[in-house]
Structure 1
Amino acid sequence: MSGSCGTSTTTAHGGIGGHLGRLPRLGKDAVSSTLACVLALKTWNVGDDHVRKGLRFIDNNSSCVMGDKCDTPVGFNIIFPGMIKSVIGLGLELPLRQSDVDEILRLQVKSHSTDQGRKAYMAYVAEGLGDIIQDWDEILRYQSKNGSLFNSPSATSALAIHSHDTNALKYLDLLGNKFVSSVPTAYPMSIYSRLCMVDTLEKMGISHHFSCEINSILDLTYRSWLQNEEEIIMDMETCAMAFRILRMHGYDITSDVFSQFSEESRFRDSVQGQLNDTKTLLELYKVSQIRISEDEWNLENVSSWTGELLKQQLSTKRVSKPIMPQEVQYALQFPFYSANVEPLEHKMNIEHFDIKRIRMRKSAYLACHATDDILALAIEEFQSSQSLYQQEVKCIKRWDAHAGIGFCSKHVEILFYAVYNTSNQIAAKAEEVQNRRVVDQIAEIWVNLARAFMVEAEWTREKHVPTIEEYMPVAEVSFALGPILAIPLYLAGPELSEDTVRGPEYRDLLRHTSICARLLNDLQTYEKEPDQGCVNSVPLYALRHGGLTSSASIEAAKREIRRDIVACRRELLRLVLREGGAIPRPCRELFWNMCKVAHLFYLQGDGFLSLKELMAAASATVREPLQVARAEDNGVWISLGPIIHCKDVLKYDSGYVRGPSC
């Protein structure tokens, strides 16, 4: 039978015997769940009054069944006609016209197929097929170790009824002992639900309030991953989400499991593929973006076919709920390393957060990670951060008293003392955090930068064209990330010894970040910089491919540079995510965040020229208020109520998600 027979479904829809209440979109789900209850009560020969009320409810809302204004539960066209047949077989008189009954039964005939992909789907909706299935041994091929079919209580019930399988009966006994008044649409889902909560907290910018709880969840998930537990490995979406979150949190995890998803055919032959599941596709696509090794070709393959299918879904307007088309478009246009600078991403996610966004499996449910408390906490956190950003902007305006001064020789002294005084002020504050003297290292960084500037000035004056091997060691320093990154690194909190900041790990992190940023800049400025006498990597690479006069050589140079950026970014991510190391993880993440900023800065052109786009991004983060409607706005102070509630949810081990009435 479809859905659960508990009160949560019927309460959400207005109650047995009534009309649809506050969720009219769920009409098909309400009618289907009600018919399942009627069928169960009639089979057990109890609750005659409730049977009559249920039939009256179906009569009042029968227009939903064949209409297209309601969300359709998974397998509805097979399961609902199957229940209609069972009700007729029990001698119940349905409050439907015979023509409507015939049309409903035809839905099942149209949906039945025997190709490989449909075989898995038919097993998933076995409760609607009943005696139509001739070979239940074939269905047993899809049985999990826990005895279920796809963690579906209703499909597993059908398996137990028709095959008397012992493991299926054990699974159902477990559910009967665990749940008193109703059965969830899927079980177990504890790992999936918790990962969704972690993902939501991170997307909303409030995960730092729950570090201990998140670490416990990820440790548990990691152990389950190492043990190849079916709840993770056999479900594409859960597998992809677990891998992405674990890898981004630095767990030592290989991508070998995604070899089974390297080909598009594996997806099309799955239940998710038959359902056109955008959520699963999007999770697999996100996974493919966090490749940290040249050997992970399976992720490259996943990226190729998932990207194409997502584009097809966008163009044909077949993006499936709960995903919105804007989410797919954003993911395709801006990979996770590009343009999703955290404050901007947090704001977008807060503004699009929908606590009433319903997911539909065989029955509708609201996930525990979409609550008023999460939204309230995220709003307050963002407003608090935005207030701090505004104070910082005021400080910068006061400090930048010489903003209108040009870089001509008579102002060299002013510029020197601006750098000198600022460096000393920063060093004084950093010494309080680092518990050691750091001004000498800051001065050394500035000296190295000045030397790189001097080399480039000499190249310009002498009209010297260096080789790419000469150019890159100078250009990566002259991009000036050394002094830019030193400030947050020394002030971030973790102590960094002198040996650490002079060590190979620090040099590698800075080098790969600087190379990415420099090459991104060069790709956008190569047409104007030679006219200004500046050296640029694009013409230097072009010399390898036939010279500067050929457009083909320029395009070949740009392709080579893009490959270098990808390789450099991949190595940077590996350095940031790896376990251990002398540099603490929060400090390593600053390098990765700077790399993301560089991708945003040079998204459409030279950062110093695309002021409109940059100012829009800055204004969205610093100045513009959130566009979120909520009943109350308690200001920017973070209350403990939402935090305590979210911590309870993170610890809650229900293994399933709540119905629409929760």
Structure 2
Amino acid sequence: MESHKASIDFQVNRFKKEIFSNFDLYSSVSPSAYDTAWLAMIPDAYEHEMPMFKSCLDWILDNQKDLGFWGESDENGNPTLDCLPSTLACMVALKKWNIGSTNIDKGLGFMDAYVERLLTMYYEGFPRWFTIVFPAMLDLAMANGLHIVFPEKLEVLVMNIFSDRQQIAKEPVHKCQHPPLLSYLETLPMSYDVDHQDILKHLSEDGSLFHSPSATAQAFMLTKNNDCLAYLKSVVQTCPNGVPSIYPVDEELVKLIMVNHIERLGLSEHFNEEIEEILSQIHRNLGVEETWEMPAKLVPSLIYKEALAFRLLRMNGYHISSRRFCWFLQDKDIVMHIERSCIDFLSTMYCVYRATDIIFSGEDELEKARSFSRKILERAISLGTGLDNVVVFPNCQRMIGHELSLPWLARLDHLDHRMWIEANQTTPLCTGKASFYRLLCLNNRKLMQLAMDNYKFRQLIYMKELEQIIRWTKEWGLFNIGFGREKSTYCYFSFAASCSLPYNSDLRKIIAKSATVITVADDFYDMEGSLDELRSLTRAVQRWDGTGLTGAGKTIFDALHEFVRDTAAKHLSQKGSDITKYLQKCWGEIFDSWMKEAEWSKSRATPSTDEYLQKGMISIAAHILALTGSSFLNSSLPNEKLWNDQYHTLTKLLMVTTRLLNDIQSYQKEEEDGKMNMVLLYLKENPEADVKDSIAHIRDFLEAKKKELLEHVFRSGSNDLPASFKHLHLSCFNIFQMFFHSKNRFDSDTEMLHDIAKAIFVPIEVQKPQPLKILPLQPQPKKETLRVTARLNPHETTRIIACPNPHFTQHGSKSFMLKKMLARTVSKSSMGKMFVSPGPSLSFI
């Protein structure tokens, strides 16, 4: 065990030095093959036959993937949609300087083998950026003599992309919806008349065109503006190993994504100081005017960033208003745009939905944001095919489905960490001219290895501790007591998996033993003991003397007595104070509440709602778990304040919410057993109501109390409680929410077995990359093609597309349809003349 711990410590220190101590923003962000290619196309100011930025050309030569493409790949190493325009742009750059013929051939082979597979994944429609960029790169490739071969079945699809591009060019664009078309300057056809002065008017202070290296490269080639040149030189100097898709990079966004990734891997305990430093700086900057200008094209990432900051800051106890990211709901144009382009906003809405996990009372804006983001996510994943190829986090359909089906508070951290580790072969990425970055510092094998080792080490600890718990229950007669539920494994698993306590924490065993005693004793009062036996046991616990007890009552008391004695001794040794009397008093109160409920049950008495809830919030016994555990925390409260008769408001909220969670899922069983329950009490007090009405009423009350509980846990300054005390209460609530969210999982003998196995016994699984293989191409017969060309001004000619050449006059042929489409396009220009000329170009086969 010590060797495992030493290995983890070594890896943590290494990662701190590599990433946090010498954080290099631009080496952390993945280069964009597309933008690097555009900078590689710029000719030198003096030697026009040479590239101005030779390092960009060298990057293209050195960074072609094995399958022949340039650009981003998914978690299995397979090409994404981004790689189609990126590969075309890289081939054009090589062709322009007559270099890399082998690379070009390999790139053409990739296009032949994969273009159909990638394009047909998007039968519901392509992302806007792709519709703009892809046709332009096809035009540019053809203009440079690159013959792109498409299967005949893609004919209509490709023509539709060209047609959609023309529609986009005619659309009025709201600044908060789509990026201005000028931010795609390098893709605009000549029919989109761009005045040089218009370009210069839109340059940012740093000389860029919307912070886009590719657009700025085209702006410089058109205008020769010195500010553009200075910006481009700055990009290459700062990013010599390939330029990013956005420059400058938003450092805060990168750091937020990094913190989020580390937390979701289950590693935050190792980087507490580093995370605190990052979040505290970001929180300080909230009140400072932005010095980094957010381009209009980055509205999705602006919402993403603010939602991510909201969640991380609120989860870590910082005060932050929901208005930090809910502002977009007030803009009808943005809302409408998100609804129409749900795929483009998928990652953003995923982040918004997660941010709304932590809603306080009265935060209606967050409620609206949660409802809206859920609607968008449900609509997006219903589209199915292709989502993992377009979004900015891995295995998106699985992760979104998990998020929507199981609320955050009903999930266990340990299992969530496992899911994120198994899913994360890759990390947040950008696609084409989209809004996000792929973070190389997170796509780090060392970090993933640390996460896996950390998870495995915890499994070793949990297995050892679980054996000790089971051995203890057998030793004290609770394991085979002969009635009720044997749930020692459930009790240990649920708390161990609910929060990341230190490796050597006694809290897991203490709380597991408490929960095991509670389960056995509660069953004894519910189903086994006679009234006389129950009264004897209750009095024994209240006077803390088991004299005269026999049978199961004696077994329960003896186990409880030993547990309290051992727990108090540990506390005296570790904390220097004796909590024996506090534990005895609290347990006596719990046994008294069980006794009262047994009397109600056996006499068929019906208490009032207030009477029932007063006893029920004690009999659920959640508070004894939280308070006993809190006594051992490093920053625990004084004993007198921790165990006073009134309890803290937070403890009361835990008591009432866990009682209501249990009652909603247990009313049918308790009705059969003659026990009272909040659902049944409401029906008695409201004869006109049915069970659905009763459950709805209790859920509304529960939801309100849950928001209060979250507010006491996460709102800074709301109380004087230590953070560790508050989070332990939240973990206890989390356990009950997990057991009773949609059914009574605790009473099932099989419901939890799969989760227990994954949390403790089954080794973590990380899928090995499974890259697709290039299929051997069948030799195709040569076909004569026609190149359709549009003359858009008296001096320039642009090749648009080409098709096989049987008959232009035959209605219904692809040639005729293509001619009609091009005629519609060219007719928009008063200078347009269409003619046909022979030659190799883009063709359908």
TM interval, shorter chain, is 0.7 to 0.9
Residue 538 of structure 2 is aligned to residue 538 of structure 1: no
Distance in 1 (CA, whole Å) between partners of 2:150 and 2:716 is 66
Distance in 2 (CA, whole Å) between partners of 1:491 and 1:324 is 40
Which of 676, 694, 711 is the aligned partner of 1:574?
A: 711
Q: CA deviation at 1:323?
A: 4.0
Partner of 1:602: 740
Letter in 1 for 2:246: A
Which of 209, 215, 235 is the aligned partner of 1:175?
A: 235
Which of 95, 109, 129 is the aligned partner of 2:188?
A: 129
Q: How many aligned residue pairs are there?
A: 618
Letter in 1 for 2:714: L
Partner of 1:390: 463
Which of 289, 309, 315 is the aligned partner of 1:242?
A: 309
Distance in 2 (CA, whole Å) between partners of 1:122 and 1:59 is 29
8 Å contact 1:222–1:246 — kept in the other structure?
A: yes
Partner of 1:368: 441
Distance in 2 (CA, whole Å) between partners of 1:432 and 1:357 is 47
Partner of 2:252: 191
Q: CA RMSD in A?
A: 3.9
Comparing 612-621 with 125-134, which one deviates more in the overlay? 125-134
Partner of 1:77: 131
Partner of 1:304: 371
Distance in 1 (CA, whole Å) between partners of 2:219 and 2:645 is 60
Partner of 2:341: 273
Residue 752 of structure 2 is aligned to residue 614 of structure 1: yes
Partner of 2:85: 32
Identity of aligned residues (%): 24
In the TM superposition, what whole-angstrom CA distance separates every residue of 1:155-196 from its partner, at most 9, and x where no partner exists? 354566678999877754642442235311223142222222
TM-score w.r.t. length of structure 1: 0.82
8 Å contact 1:153–1:185 — kept in the other structure?
A: yes
Distance in 2 (CA, whole Å) between partners of 1:276 and 1:175 is 27
Partner of 1:203: 264
For residue 246 of structure 2, give the secondary structure of its aligned residue in structure 1.
Answer: coil
Partner of 1:67: 116
8 Å contact 2:633–2:725 — kept in the other structure?
A: yes
In the TM superposition, what whole-angstrom CA distance separates every residue of 1:60-108 from its partner, at most 9, and x where no partner exists? 444268523378997233224324545667xx43334799999968733
Partner of 1:107: 161
Letter in 2 for 1:13: Q
Partner of 1:253: 320
8 Å contact 2:60–2:90 — kept in the other structure?
A: no
Partner of 2:147: 95
Alignment of structure 1 residues 339-488 onto 2, 5 Å:
340-355=411-426, 359-362=430-433, 365=438, 367-401=440-474, 402-403=477-478, 404-405=480-481, 406=483, 407=524, 408=529, 409=533, 410-411=550-551, 412-488=553-629
8 Å contact 2:590–2:619 — kept in the other structure?
A: yes
Residue 64 of structure 2 is aligned to residue 3 of structure 1: no
Q: CA deviation at 1:393?
A: 1.5
8 Å contact 2:428–2:438 — kept in the other structure?
A: no
Distance in 2 (CA, whole Å) between partners of 1:329 and 1:352 is 13
Distance in 1 (CA, whole Å) between partners of 2:580 and 2:682 is 38
8 Å contact 2:360–2:711 — kept in the other structure?
A: yes
CA 1:525–1:184: 2 relative to 1, 3 Å:
same
8 Å contact 2:360–2:708 — kept in the other structure?
A: yes
Residue 658 of structure 2 is aligned to residue 517 of structure 1: yes
In the TM superposition, what whole-angstrom CA distance separates every residue of 1:411-457 from its partner, at most 9, and x where no partner exists? 32332232122101101111233222211211121122123223323
TM-score w.r.t. length of structure 2: 0.65
CA 1:227–1:165: 2 relative to 1, 3 Å:
farther
For residue 360 of structure 1, give the secondary structure of its aligned residue in structure 2.
Answer: coil
Residue 397 of structure 2 is aligned to residue 330 of structure 1: no
Partner of 2:775: none
8 Å contact 1:520–1:602 — kept in the other structure?
A: yes
Letter in 1 for 2:401: Q
For residue 310 of structure 1, give the secondary structure of its aligned residue in structure 2.
Answer: helix
Partner of 1:660: none
For residue 4 of structure 1, give the secondary structure of its aligned residue in structure 2.
Answer: helix
8 Å contact 1:193–1:368 — kept in the other structure?
A: no
CA 1:255–1:169: 2 relative to 1, 3 Å:
farther
Q: CA deviation at 1:519?
A: 0.5
Letter in 2 for 1:182: G
CA 1:265–1:615: 2 relative to 1, 3 Å:
farther
For residue 26 of structure 1, give the secondary structure of its aligned residue in structure 2.
Answer: coil
CA 1:227–1:170: 2 relative to 1, 3 Å:
farther
Partner of 1:490: 631
Distance in 2 (CA, whole Å) between partners of 1:124 and 1:537 is 60
For residue 612 of structure 1, give the secondary structure of its aligned residue in structure 2.
Answer: coil
CA 1:86–1:504: 2 relative to 1, 3 Å:
farther
Q: CA deviation at 1:350?
A: 2.3
CA 1:461–1:61: 2 relative to 1, 3 Å:
closer
8 Å contact 1:423–1:439 — kept in the other structure?
A: yes
Distance in 2 (CA, whole Å) between partners of 1:274 and 1:615 is 37
For residue 610 of structure 1, give the secondary structure of its aligned residue in structure 2.
Answer: coil
Q: CA deviation at 1:317?
A: 0.8
In the TM superposition, what whole-angstrom CA distance separates every residue of 1:571-609 from its partner, at most 9, and x where no partner exists? 111111122543321221111111111111113433442
Name the structure with the higher helix share: 1
In the TM superposition, what whole-angstrom CA distance separates every residue of 1:31-83 from its partner, at most 9, and x where no partner exists? 6335435656788xxx4435x56654554444268523378997233224324
Distance in 2 (CA, whole Å) between partners of 1:266 and 1:504 is 53
8 Å contact 2:329–2:369 — kept in the other structure?
A: yes
8 Å contact 1:506–1:583 — kept in the other structure?
A: no
Runs of 5+ unmatched residues, structure 2 = 1-32, 38-55, 484-523, 534-549, 770-845
8 Å contact 1:489–1:587 — kept in the other structure?
A: yes
8 Å contact 1:359–1:366 — kept in the other structure?
A: no
8 Å contact 1:205–1:378 — kept in the other structure?
A: yes
Letter in 2 for 1:576: V
Comparing 313-322 with 248-257, which one deviates more in the overlay? 313-322
For residue 242 of structure 2, give the secondary structure of its aligned residue in structure 1.
Answer: coil
Partner of 1:590: 728
Q: Which is greater in Rg?
A: 2
In the TM superposition, what whole-angstrom CA distance separates every residue of 1:493-523 from its partner, at most 9, and x where no partner exists? 3232124314799621211112111111101
Runs of 5+ unmatched residues, structure 1 = 632-662
Q: CA deviation at 1:131?
A: 4.3
Comparing 395-404 with 457-466, which one deviates more in the overlay? 457-466
Q: CA deviation at 1:331?
A: 0.3
Partner of 1:314: 381
8 Å contact 1:434–1:495 — kept in the other structure?
A: no
Comparing 400-409 with 276-285, which one deviates more in the overlay? 400-409
8 Å contact 2:70–2:86 — kept in the other structure?
A: no
Distance in 2 (CA, whole Å) between partners of 1:466 and 1:143 is 74
Q: CA deviation at 1:27?
A: 7.9
Comparing 344-353 with 388-397, which one deviates more in the overlay? 344-353
Distance in 1 (CA, whole Å) between partners of 2:180 and 2:140 is 21
Comparing 263-272 with 321-330, which one deviates more in the overlay? 263-272
CA 1:138–1:30: 2 relative to 1, 3 Å:
same
Partner of 1:648: none
8 Å contact 2:71–2:83 — kept in the other structure?
A: no
Residue 64 of structure 2 is aligned to residue 13 of structure 1: yes
Comparing 260-269 with 485-494, which one deviates more in the overlay? 260-269
